[in-house]
Amino acid sequence: MSFMLESALTLLFAVSMVSMISMIWKSRPVMAMLPLLVACLAALPLPGLSQPPPALPALNIDIAETSVSGISSGGFMSVQFQVAHSAIVKGAGVIAGGPYFCSQNNVVSATTQCSCTLDPAHLVCNVSPTSADVPALALATRGFAAKDLIDNPDNLARQRVFIFAGGKDEVVPSAVAAQLADYYQRFSVPAQNISKTLLPNAGHTMPTVAYGNGCAITDSPYIGKCHFDGAKEILGWIYGPLQAPRKGAPTGRFVKFDQTPYLPKTIFSWLTGMDTTGWVYIPTACAGGGACRLHIALHGCEQGQDYLPLKSPPGGGLYYGTTFVRHAGYVAWADTNNIVVLFPQAVSIPGLNPNGCWDWWGYTGENYANKKGVQISAIRAMVNQITSGRQ
């Protein structure tokens, strides 16, 4: 099934849904739903006007030098990828995330016990120091390993982990991060390998030195001026002392690549929750064949490139775009430290995943947290490709 046909079917579905809603809500004419139709039309490729995005390159990267980090749903997904493929992961950075399999395939648990996202007023939030039930999660982890659904979790003991929580984060409260540390300790991750940072004045945000909202604000773009360089701390904790960023703009290049080769070949591939394209930043030395390392940076909910925020992102435009890719802080450090940064992109699914979150509660199926999960397996396939040029 061609991408054009799939896109046409997606648009037809959107039009059908709008018409159905209009018939049910007779006071809401189809014309009032035009923004949705415009968004769907904008997503369609236009033959002859643009070239298809390139494939991921094969670079000189040791797969054992792979690390992962993320914020919010990207934080939960970074833990899922780290545990599922612990044999190749060197370390992880988790911002506003929680322990592996926290939701236990239950959206209510995800939104009331692992986070406070079920209702804006948090009236039914049950997050507590024990709400994630870490003993049960550790037991489930061992069970998945016994079925070969994840790598041996004993691999976690050699990894380095950076955990960040905001003291004013009411979306994923700091109690969840504390339970994440407990989870790692149950798999013998040495205390000296775990860095825990609680920034009292931080909301639900990716902490940077000087980009985004005020640090305490929990709002789009979910990047905050915290006078704290989260990306630097993550990369430095995992890989060791870093070379300072160069003066002026980074000299590497951003590449928008085709994600579809890593997704299931079905007419319903849009139900994977993954966008058709992603981004990768390649330092000049890495593009020239130098030995490099790989970091996977996962955005949070409402931060994917094709998410339609209620207000324009700081750079303007209709979509969120490359706000996270360019401003989360990874690129400046990656550029001078021979670290390729892979930015996979998730996308909204009406009714299932409206905010474009990574799947950490099961909207893509019961295997969402293991190696059979569509998102985890897609990201692993990207890793395989980009590290396939090792010399």
pLDDT of the residue at 19: 40
Taking the C-alpha atoms of residue 195 and residue 238, their distance in angstroms, rounded to an integer, is 10
Band (pLDDT 50/70/90 cuts) for residue 37 is very low
- Rounded distance between C-alpha atoms, residue 180 and residue 99, angstroms: 4
- At residue 38, the pLDDT reads 41
Place of tokens 């940077």: 208
Residues 233-260 have pLDDT tens digits of 999 999 999 999 999 899 999 999 999 9
Local confidence band at 219 (pLDDT 50, 70, 90 cut-offs): very high
Question: pLDDT at position 268, please?
Answer: 72
Map out the domains of the chain as residue ranges. Answer: 3-43, 61-386
pLDDT at site 313: 73
Q: Check residue 382 and report its DSSP letter.
A: H
Residue 87 CA to residue 82 CA, distance in Å, equals 9
Look at residue 213 in the predicted model and tell me its pLDDT.
96
What does each C-alpha distance from 294 to 1, 238, 260, 343 come to in angstroms?
32, 11, 21, 11
Tens-place pLDDT, residues 48-77: 345 779 999 999 999 999 999 999 999 999
CA 31 to chain CA centroid, Å, is: 34
Q: How many CB atoms lie within 10 A of CB 318?
A: 14
Confidence check: pLDDT of 195 > 50: yes
Q: Is there a contact between 86 and 365 (Cβ–Cβ < 8 Å)?
A: no
Average pLDDT, the chain: 88
Distance of CA 196 to the CA centre of its chain: 20
Q: Give the confidence band of 10 by pLDDT, cuts at 50, 70, 90.
A: very low
Could you list the active site residues? 72, 169, 204
Name the burial class of residue 292, with classes exposed (0-12), middle (13-18) and buried (19+) by CB atoms within 10 angstroms of its CB: buried
pLDDT confidence bin for 28, thresholds 50/70/90: very low
User: Treating both helix axes as pointing N-terminal to C-terminal, what angle do 374-386 and 73-84 enclose, rounded to 10 degrees?
Assistant: 70
The pLDDT, as a whole number, for residue 312 is 75
Does the bond joining 221 to the residue before it have cis omega, within 30 degrees of 0?
Answer: yes
User: pTM value?
Assistant: 0.87
Task: Provide the pLDDT for residue 317.
Answer: 76
Report the length, in residues, of the chain.
391
Residue spans of beta strands (DSSP E) within 203-311:
206-208, 213-214, 223-225, 253-258, 277-282, 292-298
Name the nearest CA neighbour of 75 among 303, 229, 272. 303
Q: Which of 67, 117, 366 lies closest to 236 in space, CA to CA?
A: 67
pLDDT tens profile 362-371:
999 999 999 9
Residues 371-385 pLDDT 10s: 999 999 999 999 999
Q: Which of 113, 153, 148, 107 is nearest to 133 (CA)?
A: 113
DSSP E strand boundaries for 299-336: none
Q: Which strands form 213-214's sheet, in the order they lie side by side?
A: 206-208, 223-225, 213-214
Burial 117-130 (b: 16+ CB within 10 A, else e): bbeeebeebebeee
Distance CA 328, CA 261 (A): 26
What span, in angstroms and rounded, lies between the C-alpha atoms of 298 and 162? 15
Ordered DSSP codes for 115-170: -S-SSTT-TT----TTTT-HHHHHHHHHHHHHTTSS--GGGGGG-EEEEEEETT-S
Extract the runs of DSSP E, i.e. beta strands, from the chain. 61-71, 89-95, 160-166, 194-199, 206-208, 213-214, 223-225, 253-258, 277-282, 292-298, 339-343
| Whether pLDDT at 85 is above 70 | yes
Q: Tokens for 113, please give them.
A: 């016990």
C-alpha–C-alpha distance, residues 122 and 89, integer Å: 35
- How many CB atoms neighbour CB 1 within 10 A? 11
Which of the two residues, 16 and 193, has the higher pLDDT score? 193
